[in-house]
Structure 1
């Protein structure tokens, strides 16, 4: 099974726990220090003197390939049996060798920075943090003629498995005729009985398929495994292509590489064609940000224009499926499933699932929504089916199987079990069903088995033979990778993708290649760590299609309505704005503590203003209660992630919110978020001086300003921007109140008022308006009541009123909703106040009112809100 298992219901298999900082990876060094370990030169960028002595293309190519040899008895992608370079590789390396070593190193280092800065990442199974995507420096090359044979075999295999699924969930004739073992089918946990007899909406059980391929000793491609549950890797294949084409555009262009955009367009059109509406709404159903391949899912959702939805975003009502949005319920026509099938519906399938939506199976029965792939398609991933596929292909398609798998025996058949026992010591074993159940999960074979393992295997063969499948062990063929100075052969597996379209199966011209980090050619070694490689299919036509995802202009009507914004996404956008504003407030407080707002007198620790700064940082959880010198406290406030209220803690929280919004945020936004984190978490060098910490604070403030500017200028005013902006406005208004309460009381000192202006980023505006210096009433007015000051409380409340007015109302009775009423009331009180007579008790009341407004926004628009009379009870279904 390709999923993460019943513990979390993830359908995407672990991409291995490799460390992207290992040698040979593009993404080794996001900084500018030089080449990553995987560049062909394998060294720092050369000096001018070294550049002058650099080898020419022929010498460079000879140096790279010196000593390269295929492993005994195995085919290799770089060299033929006689040791000569294969034509495609000779062309590729010849073009690459035209670039000097230092230029290649610079290109690959830039690619590594691009991967790091834009958040191209993955999460190893069981880990909480993401790792940079470990793409290798070389693509896998496949000649066009050879690719045509691969594509034909993959398409045939997809059609065969679709036919098997149609029978197993339909009339069941294959099992009754003895062509499939009924016991294996019925006992497989992926055989979902509630789906038996359900005609799949759109006419297919499977819309997306992948096959893992490897070359056999004879050089022919074989299928190692079928991926039918929810195949992962297509988004990473797309990212691999974008990164490699960006790093080596001359080489990429010279080789006439087949483009992949038309494949994704065909897949998107194929899903759309299964819906009953002319302009269907398509969602990619994810298990959420902690999925191993969430980044890949976000890439695909953004590229294909699908809504990225979780189970909590979905509601089944009256047999139809809807997405909860800030505008109420919106009908969804197609769901591309990326969670395990049995987790789709806790009502009829796995009751422990928190990833699906109750009623989805009933909606499938009613034909109200198409699901690609249908729950239960993971059944044909099971190993017991492999032994029957050649005969099934002849029976169902009337032709031989073009891409065979490994010779396989299901041990539940007595004759096959006897054949296995005769060759016991030379065969590999694996569980018959996916996911594996029972005690036995070994994949050891031959000389790798000890006596205890052998006895265990024989016990299973004796007591529960149907739980096992035996197959001939495979030794993977090799492809070239860099080891730092030259090319070396390493085992690889190629994943190829196919999409169902109205014209039949369409195969991606390329794929997703994983290359082992060790020379061990047994499949069991692949889990220890892998590198990713782009796959270049060399076109037989010198004018390889320059396809894109742009449809003809006459197919899409112009519209200016807000895009779909799920309630969950609005929640994350709101908190993204809030955490960024909180980080900025802590940074400003820290900067004031360090430089005294320009006043040398505040450097004395017993001054009241300094004490108030420290107390506020402590109350906000940015510094420990133990106190300490200003530099020590500043380091805690800026860079101590263990302090829940530090600037770094808020920046990391903002990044977590952004991680759940990858399909909605630009690369520039992600780079700025990454840069903010890196500035704040830079390790202290000894004891940072106050000047160094102040410099860090100022650089961080520049990045928070950049993020605010990106939201202001780059985000569409519909939907997403509104919630980011409201989050910032709520927090900025709260901070204006809190700062006024701390530093704007009657009898405030000059230092107090100077700090208040500095915290409100209003010192320059104040100086331009008032010549005589700081005074209590003018400072209060500018910070709290001035509607023309973009940092004042009044300004924030006015913007909140504007944003709420632009959001859809779910009430039809003309009565304003709670957030609108609260903001309007507060705005009226602020407009009628006077700075000179304003009681601070009133400011404290306003601060509490702002918290109420934030709660009201959450209750009205977000999925966890207390208004779980949620939109669906208030709107006309759309």
Structure 2
């Protein structure tokens, strides 16, 4: 059956206010055309449309985290977008711009003359009662005359087609990145289908958003950063994607510092000026010296730099005071007072219980209303501070709620229950009605005027009724693109600044010290995991393969197990177990830092901070979980070890080939070279540290160093000590030799920027040259492995510490919050 017929037979109550059923005929035709296009896509791909879209989501690396989850989930995008007629959207645009103007005026009064409170239009308790009211911002005036730069608003469409405001989002514009990601994923999945239904593009809005933030800065080509709370934040993937798309450095508070009332980011080339930050953290956490002293994610003295007019902050600190649901009760009156206008886009009816008459209304109509916290914080009788429908309360819950409202009425609001419109959602290849809310976005453009994104982010509820107070994606919810469509194609395509040919440039912009740190350690963990798995593979091969390099020599097996103990992969007790059990323990180990599972955890957690720098192919490999290895059979474990060696080899290859040869790549490769050099020192010390000719040990050493073929090509004899050690220690042409690693490290450090103007070599370069010198000036006959390997290992550890001191942030462990993800 064609998709259009399925959509025409779409089962929904006509009185339910469905978006498709309510559409005018020419707009309904676009719904049907979209459904036809999805059916054609299914036929062409031979796969369900959901799977086609899911593959694009995977390629783009789109994910999210539900509160309480440790791991991210693939982004749940419905293939069928919401389709809204441009005429209906024009009415919404006017209402959104009016509301943005109103919010700007109210914020300006709250932090300025406070006439609304003085004249009785706003109760003082309403302002002071909000946890987001920033008292020490009162009296500060914006340099360019605006408190808001970007604004998000949740909208509900009622069953009669009337749009209303559910809530204002002034603190964080969550969802703006997901709106962009939804459009990217859908357009890549469906080709020209969105264009055929005349969907308006989003690129111009994002261009105007960036230009609007730049407009407020003092410099002509300002540097704007996106300030994130870090990788553990629920919307971090969205922030990373948004920063990459807009070309903004993604920074954390510890990347930034204030000097002489100017904001700087710490980079490998020294401090670089930041002119504006788009903050994605609460005002209370923004500056520990001005607000909450316990904040570990803010920037000390940031408010001083902002108040002095030398750093712009988007949005204005304290702007989120208006997010409190209680303010919704006063917005219609304030619109009349400030503009002498009726709201074009009304909010849902709200009664603040801090007023006696309104409190009585809520108590009398409790069964008809939803009760929510007036200020978005704990209120007695509201489980978890969430909104509750009065009709759903048990007798005991009702009594507890009324008691709480009696004691502190100002903590509660009553709101009307909104019956949400539905929209067609493609579920298991059939269309089903889903209640939806729409998050729209408004931003100041290059001229300082408000512009509205022609679309947005829709959340389709998993329940038939929908939770119109939910802010974030929940279990079973879907997202959907929002397509604003013109009934006829525009005469000329809408131009976008992002489509213009940019000025040609090279290089990758600034490299923050923390990003360099994470790149350095990411590569070290990849190299460390690969070498550990190579040892495990050699051990397992020796138990089941007759021609394995280690053979059945128990001494070689014992030495390799001792190597795993030295690296913290297994305990000395585990090393005495049968080889398969010891290898299984090394693969599964999570509590010891050298275990394979633990190291893969480090790879993933460090990689999360670098999402804006990695390609989707790379991240898909890096974030893949370990293969299952429940069995302790040597053959099964050997297959796992081989798969992991191949996976880690693919990562190393992508690290080598997919990065521009700039500072980011240099720190990746430096980390890789230092870790490989340390591994060479350890393996040579354990397997060839004496003066004897242990052929099995030397063969295992060549295997672990992936140098068997090179040795056999060069020598006709079996493994011999001098040529093996020359190949692995002093040969500058062997990419697996110690000399090669030292030479590469020197070249990388020489290419990095210097802080001084005297052109004298800095400490890392001196350390690297001291490491390389003996390897270049010594023959293998003069090389005392016991003495020189120990000295080389000490120099490598000193070099790693010197690189850290010179280029990375120096943060005491006691200053790092638990779970912040800072790795040693």
Identify if the C-alpha distance between structure 1 residues 178 and 220 changes in structure 2 by more than 3 Å, giving closer, same or farther. Answer: same
**Secondary structure of 1:498 counterpart:** strand
**Deviation of the 1:402 alpha carbon:** 0.8
**Deviation of the 1:249 alpha carbon:** 1.8
**Secondary structure of 1:523 counterpart:** coil
Number of the residue aligned with 1:62 = 5
Identify if the C-alpha distance between structure 1 residues 602 and 560 changes in structure 2 by more than 3 Å, giving closer, same or farther. Answer: closer
**Deviation of the 1:546 alpha carbon:** 5.9
**Deviation of the 1:715 alpha carbon:** 1.2
Is 1:484 the equivalent of 2:428?
yes
**Secondary structure of 1:238 counterpart:** helix
| Alignment partner of 2:117 out of 175, 181, 186 | 175
Alpha-carbon distance in structure 2 between the residues aligned to 1:430 and 1:100: 44
**Deviation of the 1:95 alpha carbon:** 3.0
Report Cα offsets for 1:493-513 as digits up to 9, x if no partner.
110111112251111111111
TM-score normalized with structure 1 length: 0.86
Number of the residue aligned with 1:614 = 561
Number of the residue aligned with 1:36 = none
8 Å Cα contact 1:282-1:332 kept in structure 2: yes
Identify if the C-alpha distance between structure 1 residues 321 and 439 changes in structure 2 by more than 3 Å, giving closer, same or farther. Answer: farther
Identify if the C-alpha distance between structure 1 residues 866 and 181 changes in structure 2 by more than 3 Å, giving closer, same or farther. Answer: closer
Gaps of 5+ in 2: 815-824
| 290-299 or 429-438, which deviates more | 429-438
Q: How many residues align?
A: 803
Number of the residue aligned with 2:540 = 594
Number of the residue aligned with 1:727 = 671
Identify if the C-alpha distance between structure 1 residues 104 and 427 changes in structure 2 by more than 3 Å, giving closer, same or farther. Answer: farther
Is 1:768 the equivalent of 2:713?
yes
Number of the residue aligned with 2:621 = 672
8 Å Cα contact 1:757-1:779 kept in structure 2: yes
8 Å Cα contact 2:440-2:456 kept in structure 1: yes
Number of the residue aligned with 2:520 = 574
8 Å Cα contact 2:27-2:487 kept in structure 1: no
Identify if the C-alpha distance between structure 1 residues 595 and 422 changes in structure 2 by more than 3 Å, giving closer, same or farther. Answer: closer
Identify if the C-alpha distance between structure 1 residues 451 and 841 changes in structure 2 by more than 3 Å, giving closer, same or farther. Answer: same
Structure 2 matches for 1:5-24, cutoff 5 A? Answer: none
Is 1:651 the equivalent of 2:600?
yes
Report Cα offsets for 1:70-116 as digits up to 9, x if no partner.
38x53112324999993332232233334455836355324323434
| Alignment partner of 2:131 out of 169, 184, 189 | 189
| 624-633 or 389-398, which deviates more | 624-633
8 Å Cα contact 1:344-1:355 kept in structure 2: yes
Is 1:401 the equivalent of 2:321?
no
Report Cα offsets for 1:815-861 as digits up to 9, x if no partner.
53322221111211222222123222221121121111111111111
TM-score normalized with structure 2 length: 0.92
Number of the residue aligned with 2:641 = 697
**Deviation of the 1:350 alpha carbon:** 1.0
Gaps of 5+ in 1: 1-54, 869-878
**Deviation of the 1:298 alpha carbon:** 0.2
Alpha-carbon distance in structure 1 between the residues aligned to 2:386 and 2:529: 50
Number of the residue aligned with 1:538 = 485
Report Cα offsets for 1:618-649 as digits up to 9, x if no partner.
33233453344444444444455556423343
**Deviation of the 1:653 alpha carbon:** 1.2
**Deviation of the 1:547 alpha carbon:** 4.9
| Alignment partner of 2:745 out of 780, 793, 800 | 800
Alpha-carbon distance in structure 2 between the residues aligned to 1:82 and 1:304: 36
Alpha-carbon distance in structure 2 between the residues aligned to 1:639 and 1:538: 53
**Secondary structure of 1:303 counterpart:** helix
**Deviation of the 1:399 alpha carbon:** 2.4
Report Cα offsets for 1:201-243 as digits up to 9, x if no partner.
4322111111111112321111111111112011111111111
Number of the residue aligned with 2:817 = none
Alpha-carbon distance in structure 2 between the residues aligned to 1:570 and 1:442: 41
Number of the residue aligned with 1:271 = 213
Identify if the C-alpha distance between structure 1 residues 113 and 838 changes in structure 2 by more than 3 Å, giving closer, same or farther. Answer: same
Identify if the C-alpha distance between structure 1 residues 667 and 318 changes in structure 2 by more than 3 Å, giving closer, same or farther. Answer: same
8 Å Cα contact 1:319-1:366 kept in structure 2: yes
Structure 2 matches for 1:19-418, cutoff 5 A? Answer: 55=1, 57=2, 60-63=3-6, 66=9, 68-70=11-13, 73-80=15-22, 86-100=28-42, 103=45, 105-116=47-58, 118-418=60-360
Number of the residue aligned with 1:43 = none
Identify if the C-alpha distance between structure 1 residues 193 and 620 changes in structure 2 by more than 3 Å, giving closer, same or farther. Answer: same
Identify if the C-alpha distance between structure 1 residues 109 and 551 changes in structure 2 by more than 3 Å, giving closer, same or farther. Answer: closer
Alpha-carbon distance in structure 1 between the residues aligned to 2:792 and 2:224: 43
**Deviation of the 1:774 alpha carbon:** 2.2
Is 1:843 the equivalent of 2:789?
yes
Alpha-carbon distance in structure 2 between the residues aligned to 1:443 and 1:503: 36
Number of the residue aligned with 1:828 = 773
Alpha-carbon distance in structure 1 between the residues aligned to 2:349 and 2:315: 28
| 172-181 or 605-614, which deviates more | 605-614
8 Å Cα contact 1:638-1:647 kept in structure 2: yes
Number of the residue aligned with 2:802 = 856
8 Å Cα contact 2:366-2:391 kept in structure 1: no
**Deviation of the 1:308 alpha carbon:** 0.5
RMSD between aligned residues: 2.7
8 Å Cα contact 1:217-1:477 kept in structure 2: yes
8 Å Cα contact 1:639-1:682 kept in structure 2: no
Number of the residue aligned with 2:627 = 682
8 Å Cα contact 1:169-1:197 kept in structure 2: yes
Identify if the C-alpha distance between structure 1 residues 522 and 717 changes in structure 2 by more than 3 Å, giving closer, same or farther. Answer: closer
Is 1:550 the equivalent of 2:498?
yes
Alpha-carbon distance in structure 2 between the residues aligned to 1:496 and 1:128: 29
Is 1:661 the equivalent of 2:606?
no
| 259-268 or 237-246, which deviates more | 237-246
| 87-96 or 745-754, which deviates more | 87-96
**Deviation of the 1:65 alpha carbon:** 5.5
Identify if the C-alpha distance between structure 1 residues 549 and 129 changes in structure 2 by more than 3 Å, giving closer, same or farther. Answer: farther
